[in-house]
């Protein structure tokens, strides 16, 4: 009897990219696509329909949604069922150290860029399925060359960023943290400076 195929849940909001990844994986003969989704809501439905799966391949940016939010849902879903949590492998166009650290910090076991080839993608899948961390070697060089930005945040900056990621506006953040509006604006300016980002929607997707 042949070896069971790796069951993959594919979460990617661009249909052409999703189909390309699905074809790449199934053409190897080693993987089967258990389900596909382009949003967090669809991903939850597909997960519940096809659970269990072996690996979740997840994009960070799902339109206006942060794909990393799916990891929190996945942990709760598996905890309730006392089931093993599938390995999460992020496959993203972003190659900056800040987002990579954010993905790993949120519970992803691996990170590969969309520029990666089939061989590297399969290597990443094999690695995370063994319970080991995989980061594209090129990206690992970038991470090692840049200090952890989170470590540079003050406590208030981390609290402010957490609310930005929940799509609070500055007035709501000020109220939630009992701060003056001007103070919140200063915190956000410092976060922009420390991350090198320039748009609020980029902060929300970290």
Q: For residue range 124-162, list pLDDT tens digits in order.
A: 999 999 999 999 888 887 777 666 667 788 889 988 988
Percent of the chain scoring above 70 in pLDDT:
95
pLDDT digits (tens, 9 = 90+) for 69-107: 999 999 999 999 999 999 999 999 988 787 888 888 889
> CA dist 17 to 20, 110, 115, Å?
5, 19, 11
Calculate the average pLDDT of the chain: 89
- The owner of tokens 């879903």 is 77
Domains of the chain as residue ranges with CATH: 6-145 (3.40.50.2300), 150-204 (1.10.10.10)
Paired sense of beta strands 65-66 and 61-62, if any: antiparallel
Residue 61 phi, psi dihedral angles, 5° rounding: -100, 110
Q: Could you give the CA distance from residue 70 to residue 56 in angstroms, rounded to a whole number? A: 10
Average pLDDT over residues 158-168: 88
Mean pLDDT of 2-10: 87
Q: Is the pLDDT of residue 114 over 50?
A: yes
| Residue 38 pLDDT > 50 | yes
Checking if the pLDDT of 1 tops 50, the result is no
pLDDT value at residue 121: 94
First to last CA, the chain: 44
Tell me the C-alpha distance between 159 and 152, whole Å.
13
Strands in the chain per DSSP E:
6-11, 31-37, 55-58, 61-62, 65-66, 87-92, 110-113, 134-135
């Amino acid at each position: 009897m042949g070896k069971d195929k790796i069951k993959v849940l594919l979460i990617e909001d661009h249909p052409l990219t999703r189909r390309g990844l699905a074809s790449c994986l199934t053409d190897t003969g080693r993987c089967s696509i258990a389900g596909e989704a382009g949003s967090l809501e669809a991903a939850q439905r597909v997960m519940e329909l096809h659970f269990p799966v072996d690996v979740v391949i997840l994009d960070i940016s799902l339109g206006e949604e942060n794909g990393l939010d799916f990891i929190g849902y996945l942990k709760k879903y598996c905890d309730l069922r006392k089931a093993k949590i599938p390995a999460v492998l992020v496959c993203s166009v972003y190659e900056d150290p800040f987002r990579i650290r954010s993905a790993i910090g949120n519970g992803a076991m691996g990170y590969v860029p969309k520029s990666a080839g089939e061989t590297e993608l399969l290597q990443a899948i094999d690695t995370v399925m063994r319970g080991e961390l995989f980061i594209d070697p090129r990206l690992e060089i970038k991470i090692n060359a840049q200090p952890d930005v989170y470590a540079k945040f003050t406590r208030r900056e981390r609290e402010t960023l957490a609310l930005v990621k929940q799509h609070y506006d500055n007035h709501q953040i000020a109220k939630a943290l009992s701060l003056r509006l001007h103070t919140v604006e200063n915190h956000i300016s410092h976060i922009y400076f420390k991350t090198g980002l320039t748009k609020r929607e980029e902060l929300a997707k970290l």
